[in-house]
Amino acid sequence: MDTFSLASSTAHYCCSFSGKPTTTVACYSVTTCSENPTTTSSSLRRPTNNRPVANSPINPHRPKPKPHNTNPFQTLTPKRNPIDNKSQTLTEKLWLTSRLSPPHPPETENANFLDPSDDLDNINSLDSSDDLGSKQIEYREKGKIFVGNLPLWIKKNQLTEFFRQFGPIKNVILIKGYNDTERNMGFGFVIYGGATAENAAMKAVEFDGMEFHGRVLTVKLDDGRRMKDKSLDRARWIEGDESVDYKSVWQEERDSSRKELKMVLETQPENWQAVVEAFQRIKKVSSLDSSIDDKCVGEEICIVQEKLSRACEPGELSQAHMYIPIGRDMEEALSCVRKMKDEEIELSLVTYSILVGGFAKIGDVSSADKWFKEAKKTQANMNAIIYGNIIYAHCQSFNMEHAEALVREMEEEGIEATKDIYHMMMDGYTMIKEEDKCLVVFKRLKECGFTPTIVTYGCLINLYIKMGKVSKALEVSESMKADGIKHNMKTYSMIINGFIKLKDWANAFAIFEDVVKDGLNPDVVLYNNIINAFCGMGNMDRAIRTVEEMQKGRRKPTSRTFMPIIHGFARAGEAKRALEAFNLMRMCGCIPTVHTYNALILGLVEKRQMERAVKVLDEMLLAGVGPNEHTYTTIMHGYASLGDTGKAFEYFSKLKNEGLNVDVFTYEALLKACCKAGRMQSALVVTKEMHAKNIRRNTFIYNILIDGWARRGDVWEAADLMQQMKQEGVKPDIRTYTSLVNACCKAGDMLRAAKTIKEMEAAGLKPNIKTYTTLIHGWARASLPEKALKCFEDMKLAGLKPDRAVYHCLMTSLLARASIAEDYIYSGIQQICAEMIEAGLTVDMGTAVHWARCLHKIERCGGDLTEALQKTFPPDWNSQNSLDVMSGFDHNDGDELLYECDSDGDELLYECDSDGDTDE
């Protein structure tokens, strides 16, 4: 049993009984005080105790009785004769008699107060009555849960890390085994802290049955049974029950530590490290604890010293400690090195190699360099192992020039490079996508007589996959097979990942089938890639079934497994299923990471469900997962799409205050919010801040700014930004020209818009459907429907399929000019109606009402145009409703609809920008 946790619980009840009584048992203990206010603690015992009072020892740890006149129950509880009390006790022992003629209730003014002469068993019976539920709630600690079916080897930090996802944890109690303190009993308690402790506990209980290291956990709310038993034991101890040994916190902790030391001495007498650690855990006697005998402590010190003298030679203690913390914490490793230097123990080349390799693994290149240089000064002969460690450190930091210098230095000293060093160099060139030098190292490896292995070919395959050259990766695969080397799971995963990047789902699944044919059991990485492929196809149900297949094959899913599933459901607008996948991840024992939360937030933001996205962010903070730059940038993009500049700036400030990195993507979201809301002056301030921080404006930044000025119809500012863009060497794309065309159309300068289209074509860019939609809208605003019709025909000749926005703008323009009764307008309306009917497009009720009003001016009693156009109206359209709605329209309806069409065009442009940013 975890003695430290029990001691903390004991201390809680000691405090509760030392002050004002808070429970029924505590009230009883106060009312049993004697009339004499100076009576010692022995007078707390009841008169029925047959021991002489003078021989009763005084317990200094028991609370002193309060004076008689301070007892609030003294006036309500009459005194009783001990003889009456004795007779009543005799009556209670007679089971049948007490039932036939029960004793009279105590004569008190308030029946809710307990009589001090009642036996403690009566209190126990009261606790087990119908009011048991309220008593358990009173004893239960809020935020405390019971966790059962734990693996016996689990540690506190692992349990804390797993349950931290539901809320901040105050304490974790693992019940230890009585015969093996390194293993637990399979159950324990988790206590949540803070204002959300109870909510966190309730949320954790909802996941009862979740998987944790292969075990299905039992998670329940603590019923307070343990605390209630401790409270009753305390009450009995105060009443003088000598069978209860109530110890203080210090005593319990110290006794437990002494038992651990004794067990280590009996089970591991030769393991001096375990003896030292067990001895150090014992609470030592301070100078203030004069009442405690320190004889046992002296005996323990003698035993430990004897064990150390037998186990260690002089100077061996520090050297042995050296190899314990090396793999766990470099700070502990350095402290061991300092001890070795203090004891004048020289560091060997092996020690330096361990230090350089340790710092290389954690990415601390400067510290690795420092110890490598010190090794060169102190050691006469260097070897390939320490050179390999320092080369690995520089390769992982992409500093290949320094790595090449180290290889040259090693060869000059006559040290031959090993095969592992060749692989390190190839991997380093792969990470920086340096194809030529990677092939040079590959050829040199074969020239030196080394036979290429699966690792060698894997570096080449990884290189070409990173560069997007999947065909060359397949050539390397064939060469590998020709050399008699079979694929392993890593090489197969690389090739599948390459096809997924190209969105070539068929070949990705074909490679997966090859894995099964080769008799290989797919690992977690391969399953993750296949799940990513299904999510990319939009087949979310198949992705979920793949997770089930993983579990059947005893492959534990990871948080990365569920990331594409969560994002796929959220992006499809199925927030409920996204949350279900998130909870399924928790039930599988996966701890949510910042990337998992980001996937959920991104999907919700793409559907503009900002309230849910912010709620997920709050849960993320509550679970102790710190947001990163991508989290806040995604939230900013969401509010930017809504034009909420205040919220965007609020999260921008949070990002900066938390010390996170502010990059061009962060400013992109901020500028998008400013331009969407029309606050171009604020956008200029943001661009000045970017210039002050030496953050260059890219194509997306310029597109946002040009589109912002285009919304205001300021063609001069938009054109000026286009010139700045070219001067800075930033190449305009199709969205840049489309935004400039929109600015020209807003300003009514259609000649300049046509000129911009020609410039775009001269730059090798073809107009897309968004560009044509903007141009058609401009001609419609200029009241030139014939130009709009010609642009519409050019769009179809270019192989582009018109969408709803194109038909809406063009039809509105033609109907507005239909009163002129020109032939090309009538034929245009009929042509567009036929195309809309063939495409199955319908308009909303407001648009249908406006079009019907325009038709009413042309064909007052109906006709061919009315009959054709009404086929594009909503299914619930009827003449009676149309007349009722038309009666509410005034003469400005045409202008209103043009304004609505204008807003739709801007929204389409913004959606184009948003899509581009997402693809980026």
Q: Residue 672: pLDDT above 70?
A: yes
Asked whether residue 636 is assigned to any structural domain, the reply reads: no
CATH of the domain at 156: 3.30.70.330
Ranges of beta strands (E only) in 675-740 are none
* Ordered alpha helix ranges (H), 518-609: 524-537, 540-552, 559-571, 575-587, 594-606
The residues with which 394 forms a beta bridge, in sequence order, are none
Asked whether residue 590 is assigned to any structural domain, the reply reads: no
Asked whether residue 890 is assigned to any structural domain, the reply reads: no
Asked whether residue 871 is assigned to any structural domain, the reply reads: yes
Least confident of 191-205, 611-625, 867-881: 867-881
169-176 and 184-192 beta bridge pairing: antiparallel
Position 391 confidence tier, pLDDT thresholds 50, 70, 90: very high
Asked whether residue 220 is assigned to any structural domain, the reply reads: yes
Position 240 confidence tier, pLDDT thresholds 50, 70, 90: low
- What secondary structure, in 3-state letters, does 899-915 show? HHHHHHHHHHHHHHHHH
Domain count of the chain?
2
Q: Residue 7: pLDDT above 60?
A: no
Question: Stretch 854-867: mean pLDDT, rounded?
Answer: 72
pLDDT of residue 836: 84
Domain's final residue, options 197, 213, 232: 232
Question: Stretch 353-381: mean pLDDT, rounded?
Answer: 89
List, for residues 406-454, the tens digit of each pLDDT value.
Answer: 999 998 888 888 999 999 999 999 999 889 999 999 999 888 889 999 9
The residues with which 216 forms a beta bridge, in sequence order, are 211
Instruction: Please give the mean pLDDT across all residues of the chain.
Output: 74
List, for residues 267-299, the tens digit of each pLDDT value.
Answer: 877 776 777 777 777 765 543 343 344 444 444
Give the integer Cα–Cα distance in Å for 791 and 781: 14
Domain's final residue, options 183, 216, 232: 232
Asked whether residue 73 is assigned to any structural domain, the reply reads: no
List, for residues 675-688, the tens digit of each pLDDT value.
Answer: 888 888 888 889 88
Asked whether residue 177 is assigned to any structural domain, the reply reads: yes
Q: Residue 61: pLDDT above 50?
A: no
Q: What is the DSSP secondary structure assignment for residue 450, as one 8-state letter?
A: P
SS3 184: strand
- Answer whether 764's CB lies under 8 Å from 889's CB: no
- Answer whether 701's CB lies under 8 Å from 671's CB: yes
Domain's final residue, options 203, 232, 261: 232
Among candidates 763, 775, 780, which has minimal Cα distance to 800? 775
List, for residues 800-819, the tens digit of each pLDDT value.
Answer: 888 888 888 888 877 777 65
List, for residues 136-169, the tens digit of each pLDDT value.
Answer: 446 778 889 999 999 888 888 888 888 888 888 8
Question: What residues make up the domain containing 834?
Answer: 792-879
Q: What is the DSSP secondary structure assignment for residue 802, as one 8-state letter?
A: P
- Answer whether 208's CB lies under 8 Å from 199's CB: no
| Identity of the residue numbered 761 | E
pLDDT of residue 894: 36
pLDDT of residue 395: 92
Q: Residue 134: pLDDT above 60?
A: no
pLDDT of residue 423: 92
pLDDT of residue 283: 62
